[in-house]
Structure 1
Amino acid sequence: MATTNKAQRVAFAGLSVIAVLATAACGGGDKATSGESTAALNWDQKGPITFVQGKDNNNLVQPLLNEWNKEHPNEKVTFVQLSASADEQRQKMVDNANTKGASNFDVLYLDIVWTAEFAAKQWVHELPKDMFPTDGMLQPAVDGATYFDKLYAYPTSSDGAMLYFRKDLLEKAGIKEAPKTWSDMKAACTKVKALPEGKGLDCYGGQFQKYEGLTCNITEIVNSSGAEFLDKDGKPQVNSEAALKGVQWLQDSFKDGTIPKAATTWMEEPSRQAFQDGKLVFLRQWPYIYSLMQAKDGSSKVADKFGIAPLPGLEGPGVSTLGGHNLAISKTAKNLGTARDFIKWYGEEAQQKTAAQKATLAPTRESLYADADLVKQLPYLPVLKESIATAKARPKVVAYNDATQAIQDASANVIAGKDPKSNFEGLQTKLTELTK
Structure 2
Amino acid sequence: MTAVPLRRATRTSGAVLAGLAVLAACGAPGGASTVHAKPSFEGRGPITYVAGKDATGSVQLVLDRWNKLHPKEKVTFVQLPTDPDAQRQQMIQNAQTKSDAYTVLSLDVVWTSEFAAHRWVDPLPQDRFPLRKMLKPIVETGKYRGGLYAVPASSDGGMLYYRTDLLKRAGIKRPPATWAEMKADCAKVRKLPEAKGMHCYAGQFQKYEGLTVNFAEAVNSAGGLVTDPAGAPRVDTPQARRGLDFLVDSFKDGTIPKDAITYQEEDGRRAFQAGKLIFERQWPYMYPLVAKEDGSSKVAGRFAVAPLPGLTGPGASSLGGHNVALSASAENKATALDFMEFLTSEKLQRFTLATAPAAPTFDELYKDPKLVKKYPYLPTLKRSILHAVPRPRVFRYGDVTAAIQREAYAAMTGSKNSAQALKDLQKTLRQQRAAQ
Equivalents in 2 of 1:20, 1:77: separation in Å? 14
Q: Does 1:172 align with 2:169?
A: yes
Q: Does 1:288 align with 2:291?
A: no
Q: Which moved more, 1:188-197 or 1:423-432?
A: 188-197
CA gap 1:203/1:95 in 2 versus in 1, 3 angstroms: closer
2:88 maps to what in 1?
A: 90
Partner amino acid for 2:34? G
Deviation at 1:305, TM superposition (A): 1.7
Partner amino acid for 2:35? E
3-state SS of 2:355 partner: helix
Deviation at 1:409, TM superposition (A): 1.4
CA contact (8 A) 2:104 2:336 kept: yes
2:97 maps to what in 1?
A: 99
Equivalents in 2 of 1:241, 1:21: separation in Å? 38
CA contact (8 A) 1:113 1:394 kept: yes
3-state SS of 1:110 partner: strand
Deviation at 1:350, TM superposition (A): 0.8
1:110 maps to what in 2?
A: 107
CA gap 1:265/1:332 in 2 versus in 1, 3 angstroms: closer
Partner amino acid for 2:431? E
Q: 1:240 aligns with which of 200, 216, 237?
A: 237
1:277 maps to what in 2?
A: 274
Deviation at 1:22, TM superposition (A): 9.7
3-state SS of 2:403 partner: helix
Q: Does 1:434 align with 2:422?
A: no
Q: Which moved more, 1:283-292 or 1:86-95?
A: 86-95
1:16 maps to what in 2?
A: none
3-state SS of 1:354 partner: helix
CA contact (8 A) 1:51 1:80 kept: yes
CA contact (8 A) 2:15 2:322 kept: no
Aligned pairs for 1:258-337 (under 5 A) are: 258-333=255-330, 335-337=332-334
Q: Does 1:211 align with 2:218?
A: no
1:357 maps to what in 2?
A: 354
1:250 maps to what in 2?
A: 247
Deviation at 1:70, TM superposition (A): 5.5
Equivalents in 2 of 1:63, 1:298: separation in Å? 24
CA contact (8 A) 1:157 1:364 kept: yes
Deviation at 1:46, TM superposition (A): 5.0
Identity across matched positions, percent: 48
Q: Deviations over 1:351-394 (max 9, x none)?
A: 11222222223211121123344334432122112112212222
Aligned pairs for 1:335-414 (under 5 A) are: 335-414=332-411
3-state SS of 2:107 partner: strand
CA gap 1:62/1:283 in 2 versus in 1, 3 angstroms: closer
Equivalents in 1 of 2:203, 2:14: separation in Å? 19
Deviation at 1:432, TM superposition (A): 1.4
CA contact (8 A) 2:319 2:391 kept: yes
1:425 maps to what in 2?
A: 423
CA contact (8 A) 1:32 1:148 kept: no
Equivalents in 1 of 2:275, 2:14: separation in Å? 25
CA contact (8 A) 1:56 1:81 kept: no
Equivalents in 1 of 2:198, 2:122: separation in Å? 51
CA contact (8 A) 2:14 2:79 kept: no
Deviation at 1:404, TM superposition (A): 1.8
CA contact (8 A) 1:179 1:312 kept: yes
Equivalents in 1 of 2:422, 2:374: separation in Å? 43
3-state SS of 2:280 partner: strand
Equivalents in 1 of 2:259, 2:220: separation in Å? 24
Partner amino acid for 1:361? A
3-state SS of 1:51 partner: strand
Q: Which moved more, 1:53-62 or 1:249-258?
A: 53-62
Deviation at 1:37, TM superposition (A): 5.0
Partner amino acid for 2:105? L
Q: Scaled by the length of structure 2, what TM-score is found?
A: 0.85
Deviation at 1:286, TM superposition (A): 1.6
2:186 maps to what in 1?
A: 189
Q: Which moved more, 1:141-150 or 1:61-70?
A: 61-70
1:223 maps to what in 2?
A: 220
Equivalents in 2 of 1:289, 1:68: separation in Å? 26
Q: Scaled by the length of structure 1, what TM-score is found?
A: 0.85
2:34 maps to what in 1?
A: 35
Equivalents in 2 of 1:226, 1:431: separation in Å? 20
Aligned pairs for 1:113-152 (under 5 A) are: 113-152=110-149
